Structure 1
Amino acid sequence: MNNYAALFQAEGEEIIKLGQSISEEDFTHLLKTLEKNTNNVFLTGCGTSAMAARKVTHTLNVVGISAFYLNPSDAVHGGLGQVKKGDTVIFISKGGSTKELTSFDQNVKEKQAKIVAITENVDSVLAKNADLVVKVKVEKELDEFNMLATTSTLAVISLFDVIATILMKDENFTKKAFLLNHPSGKVGQRLAKDVRND
């Protein structure tokens, strides 16, 4: 096996391990939280976690969840005004103590929005203040220093890919509904053709 193929395999194996190790109770709680939520869902994070939060936001939107990315720096300068009672705010943070995020989690709590922490550190500040903690931990990042947020970021995205797929099935999400949310691009073309042929 060549070097790059081995790296692909290593990353894939970490995702498989996550599927085997993640708490079923916490996973189900997160699934039900999104399934039952009739308000808005906000996702927030810093650095690479922000990129994961943006991707998850898009995925949830596609399957009909009203999700929005909450920029941490904007949040503390008035952006928190969009968060209302009954909303869900999902904090994505590997270490769970990023000061840009811990600077406003209490504000979210006072607004009576539900706090979900996606982190590998269940003893972190965010985890202790959360209503639900989902531990997402990988044994090793892909780089030789075990520092670059690679596999851990993919693990968070994979978690919500699985959640979104289950939501589609549980909510009987049809191709027609999919097309209404995603009318353009190659996906839109395929969906339009399938809908016409159904």
Structure 2
Amino acid sequence: MDREENRTGFDSVKTVLQKEAAEIQKLADHLNQDDVNQMLLLLNECNGKVITCGCGTSGAAAKKIAHTLNCINRPAFFLSPSDALHGGMGVLQEDDLIILFSKGGHTVELESMIDSCKKKGLRTVLVTETEESNLAQKSDFLLKIKIEREPDAFNMLATASTLAVIAVFDAMSITLANHNGYTKEEFLVIHPGGEVGERLFAQTGN
């Protein structure tokens, strides 16, 4: 890229970031309060594990969300839909909460899973943009997270929408940590490694 192309490229990157930030702000202004409070309650009162599940980009978001929940001492893990459908659902127990992530609400692999989840007695949550799908009808609870538009020219790349889902669950995780009085000492026990571990050790003296 020459100098002019570099400038154009930088401007494009900046514009995309601004569009994504604007979508997150609009989402914050229009989230359903009752639904968010219900999701917080489900996460906080889960006596088992929180299992996240999704395919493609939704799966990537689900993995990140499970890790964040673990970081606040809320046991969670990501279950691959393909593994789940070939015996992996044996790990699911009655007290667990499973959160299915599907932007369009029609992920075939998740549709194949949900009946078994119900038979095992799990509470099922669907995180999606649409309320009209078989998954939505079969889930115990639906959390709608929808943006107006993706920033790409085709309005198809799951970019801002993925950030939105992660951002909502980041916010809920921090809310739960604050509500439950999560301490630096507790955090250090499960995160002794890396710079975070070093900072926690220095601040707690443990």
Q: CA deviation at 1:186?
A: 1.0
| Percent pairwise identity | 43
Cα distance in structure 1, aligned partners of 2:170 and 2:35: 16
Q: CA deviation at 1:130?
A: 0.8
Matched with 2:49 is 40
Match of 1:75 among 51, 66, 84: 84
Matched with 1:92 is 101
Cα distance in structure 1, aligned partners of 2:47 and 2:166: 23
Find the structure with the greater CA-based Rg. 2
Q: CA deviation at 1:7?
A: 1.2
| Partner SS for 1:2 | helix
RMSD: 1.2
Match of 1:133 among 133, 137, 142: 142
| Partner SS for 1:115 | strand
> 1:166 is aligned with what amino acid?
T
Matched with 2:25 is 16
Matched with 1:179 is 188
Cα distance in structure 1, aligned partners of 2:31 and 2:115: 27
Q: CA deviation at 1:86?
A: 2.0
Match of 1:50 among 35, 59, 74: 59
Matched with 2:202 is 193
Unaligned runs of 5+ in 1: none
Cα distance in structure 1, aligned partners of 2:135 and 2:109: 11
Matched with 1:155 is 164
Q: CA deviation at 1:20?
A: 1.2
TM-score by length of 1: 0.97
Matched with 1:6 is 15
Q: What is the number of equivalent residue pairs in this alignment? A: 197
Matched with 2:120 is 111
